[in-house]
Amino acid sequence: MHPDRRPGLRLALILVASFMVVLDFTIVNIALPSIEHDFRVDTSVVQWVVTGYAIAFSGLLILGGRAADLFGRRRVFIVGLVVFSLASLAGGLATGPVSLVAARVVQGAGAALVAPAALSLITTSFPPGPRRTRAIGLYGSMASVGFVSGQVLGGVLVEWTSWRSVFLVNVPVGLAAALLAPRLLRDTRVRPASAAGLGGSRFDVWGAVLITVAVALAVFGISQGDALGWTSRPVVAALVAALVAAACFAAAEARHPQPLIRPRLLLRPGLRNGATLAFLLGVWNGGELLVLSLYFQQALHFSPLETGLVIAPQGIAGFSMGMLGPRLAGRLGVRRVLVLAGAAATVGFAVLTRLPATGYSPLLTVVILVGFGGAGTAFGSIVLASRELSDGEQGLAGGVINTSRQVGAAVGAALLPAVAESVAGGITGITGDRAAMFTATAAALAATIVSVQAARHGPALSRPA
């Protein structure tokens, strides 16, 4: 059967792969105490299991997106899945912290190929109209579902088997997806790879190196700021070097005949607003899950598995919004959906600023509001970013959106706990947790304002592509 007759299977394959790479951000968090115990290392060492993945993933996303445009989305998607799966196997069989962290770095690099290639496969394989919009809605919801599911699945695997299973579970799924991809997916690219070969003078190698270094250093500095101190030499040096690399990248792109990112591309309102919304979503999502997870375990004395289960409604709400969002966009327009999503998240976080000392039931409604708001923002930001660009730039758009969200998540994961600790003298204090939720409220409110401005100054977009 021809692949074009199996759009449902094609989309399912892309969504499973996208879910898997997002899941790995949170599924490992539950396993960190067990890894620390088995390898008999300090928390500061085992934390690199998370940080190494985040740095490689965030730093290489834009390069991975552009590679998908130039060398074929299906090809890059498959290569990424194989790299990710083999690195997962290496992580599950690791004999020490060094080999485990190395496996996680390679795993992050594989994920950086999969994520933007997956998004560009959706935006180039499905024709403009309701079908593409529905596909984007489901893709956007995968991030919310994946983040929350990691808490639940990680708790189950660690409690019933061992920490190694959180890595090994990826292997059969990733390899099966890689084997199915040639049968289900069409390969699309801008032009033959030879026209932009790595050895050719027109491929922006220097730009690729600079943007990778800039993002990786920024994520390192932000993620380590709370642990090492924001005025410590490693953190200050990393952030300054990131700014220098970013400035050099901007200068190099302006002169290169075929830049990695055309400077005018970043002036497109859709891409600019979409990237801003993705960043703000990352800030509140990355920090909120961490603070709530600690709140339930330390203030309410829930187990890791119980914590995952009580946060699960947020993921369910996010998936529901992925199904509902395209229909709402068809009636109201994408920008109005973004305003509603931002408002829902803002209201949810505003209520969370009154976190009770005990009990979960009063929080159920607001957790669902946050889930709806996050998934709606993810969906709308992707539509805004991708609709103004040609097929030859969709991989790059996926890289920019994913990078914005991951950098935002690094900021949120560092900022919200730091706010909680500075206010309460420790993250277990209810006062500190409430202050962290104020910060998340500010991020959601800022996203709402950006959405309102986009709605006022842009076309109606009542029938999104």
pLDDT tens readout for residues 300-343: 777 767 777 777 888 888 888 878 878 888 888 888 889 999 99
Most confident of 110-124, 177-191, 387-401: 110-124
> Do 23 and 107 reside in the same domain of the chain?
yes
Q: Are 324 and 222 members of one domain?
A: no
Asked if residue 461 belongs to a domain, the reply is: no
What is the percentage of the chain residues whose pLDDT exceeds 70? Answer: 89
User: Which pLDDT band holds residue 36 (cuts at 50, 70, 90)?
Assistant: confident
- 417 plus 450 within the same structural domain: yes
For residues 325 and 166, give the distance between their C-alpha atoms in angstroms, rounded to a whole number: 31
Q: Residue 47 has which token pair?
A: 């934390």
Q: Are 348 and 370 a contacting pair, CB within 8 Å?
A: yes
Mean pLDDT of 7-20: 87
Structure tokens at 205: 């190698």
Q: Tell me, yes or no, if the pTM score tops 0.75.
A: yes
On whether both 232 and 244 belong to a single domain, the answer is yes
Q: Is residue 465 part of a domain?
A: no
Whether residues 150 and 236 fall in one domain? no
Q: Indicate whether 132 and 218 sit together in one domain.
A: no
Using 50, 70 and 90 to split pLDDT, how confident is the model at 80? very high
Instruction: Answer yes or no: are the C-beta atoms of 342 and 288 closer than 8 Å.
Output: no
Which DSSP symbol is given to 264?
G
Closest listed residue to residue 208, CA positions, set 399, 63, 319, 64: 63
Q: Which one is predicted more confidently, 364 or 175?
A: 175
Instruction: Tell me, yes or no, whether 216 and 357 share the same domain.
Output: no
> In this structure, are 245 and 272 located in the same domain?
no
Tally of CB atoms within 10 A around 172: 11
State whether 243 and 346 are in the same domain: no
Domain co-membership, 241 together with 133: no
pLDDT tens figures, 254-297: 887 777 777 777 778 888 888 899 999 989 887 887 788 777 77
Average pLDDT over residues 83-105: 94
* 268 in the same domain as 316: yes
Query: Is residue 196 included in any domain, yes or no?
Result: no
Do 226 and 97 share a domain, yes or no?
Answer: no
Residues 149-155, mean pLDDT to the nearest whole number: 75
Residue pLDDT, tens place only, 345-394 = 999 999 888 877 555 566 777 888 898 898 889 888 888 887 777 766 77
**Among 156-160, 316-320, 429-433, the range of highest mean pLDDT:** 316-320
Q: SS3 for 94-112, per residue?
A: CCCHHHHHHHHHHHHHHHH
Is the pLDDT higher at 58 or at 465? Answer: 58
Instruction: Classify residue 77: in a domain, yes or no.
Output: yes
Residue 337 in domain: yes
State mean pLDDT over 408-425: 80
pLDDT at position 190:
54
Q: What percent of the chain has pLDDT over 90?
A: 21
CATH for 355: 1.20.1250.20
- pLDDT band for position 71 (cuts 50, 70, 90): confident
Among candidate residues 257, 286, 321, the one where a domain is terminated: 257
Per-residue pLDDT tens digits for 191-216: 544 444 433 445 677 887 888 888 88
Q: 189 pLDDT exceeds 90?
A: no
Q: Across residues 223-231, what is the average pLDDT? A: 79
Residue 174 placed within a domain: yes
Integer Cα distance of 117 and 68 in angstroms: 6
Q: Give residue 142's pLDDT band: very low, low, confident or very high (50, 70, 90).
A: confident
Q: How many domains does the chain have?
A: 2
Domain-ending residue, one of 230, 257, 284: 257
Domain that holds residue 264: 3-183+258-456
Q: Is 70 among the domain residues?
A: yes
| Mean pLDDT of the chain, nearest integer | 81
Q: What local confidence, expressed as pLDDT, does residue 339 receive?
A: 92
In a domain, 162, yes or no: yes
In sequence order, the 6+-apart residues with CB closer than 8 A to the CB of 137 are 321, 322, 323, 324, 325, 326, 329, 379
- The more confident residue out of 217 and 205 is 217
